[in-house]
């Protein structure tokens, strides 16, 4: 759903269990549930769509890391779900082949790790262009200081480098002090 949409979001139970004997459509319907939850759409709306289109979106969400698909079975254990060790052959040569082990995160741990990452919205609610540059301006460091006070009292900012003095012009030699360049383009608001 787009930002600012007046549509009501579809709400789902936090735990959905599809149960039944083999071959009754549990796996098939999981695709519809997953897409409905991600897109915050009513389940009926997703079921009304062409299944191939829904499945394609499901596969894209899976590729993007938004969906993990797991089939639990009797031998599915902690090692596959949380974390386990996996044997690794150190060479392709069968005669000198040595086995080592590596720790491998299970699907649940991978999901938890992704969930702990901050979510950065792709929406542009602030009105900035996608290609905007963001500049940080410091007024002689943090805290109260003469440069900051002067700029705040006179409603301007000073752009340049203190090493080059009060006045920076086109003729200023920037070869000293590491070759810094002053910003020479301004946008008036």
Q: pLDDT tens for residues 145-174?
A: 887 788 788 887 766 566 666 666 667 676
Let me know: does 166 contact 177? Beta carbons within 8 Å: no
Domain ranges within the chain, ordered by starting residue: 7-69, 78-115, 135-189
63 pLDDT higher than 70? yes
Q: Is the pLDDT of residue 181 over 70?
A: no
Q: Return the residue matching tokens 């040595």.
A: 98
Q: How many residues does the chain have?
A: 189
Give the per-residue pLDDT at 132: 67
Specify the higher pLDDT residue, 61 or 140. 61
Q: What is the pLDDT of residue 62?
A: 93
């Amino acid at each position: 759903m787009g930002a600012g949409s007046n549509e009501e979001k579809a709400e789902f139970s936090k735990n959905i269990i599809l149960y039944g004997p083999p071959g009754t459509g549990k796996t098939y319907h999981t695709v519809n549930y997953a897409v409905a939850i991600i897109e915050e759409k009513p389940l009926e709306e997703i079921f009304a769509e062409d299944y191939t289109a829904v499945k394609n979106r499901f596969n894209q969400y899976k590729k993007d890391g938004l969906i993990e698909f797991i089939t639990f079975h009797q031998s599915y254990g902690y090692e596959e779900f949380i974390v386990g060790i996996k044997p690794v052959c150190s060479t392709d040569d069968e005669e000198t082949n040595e086995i080592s082990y590596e720790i491998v995160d299970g699907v649940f741990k991978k999901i938890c790790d992704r969930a702990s990452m901050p979510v950065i919205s792709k929406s542009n609610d602030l009105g900035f262009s996608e290609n905007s540059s963001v500049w940080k301006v410091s007024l002689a460091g943090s805290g109260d200081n003469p440069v900051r006070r002067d700029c705040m009292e006179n409603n301007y900012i000073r752009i340049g480098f203190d090493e080059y003095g009060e006045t920076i012009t086109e003729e200023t030699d920037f070869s000293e002090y590491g070759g810094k360049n002053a910003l020479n383009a301004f946008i008036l608001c």
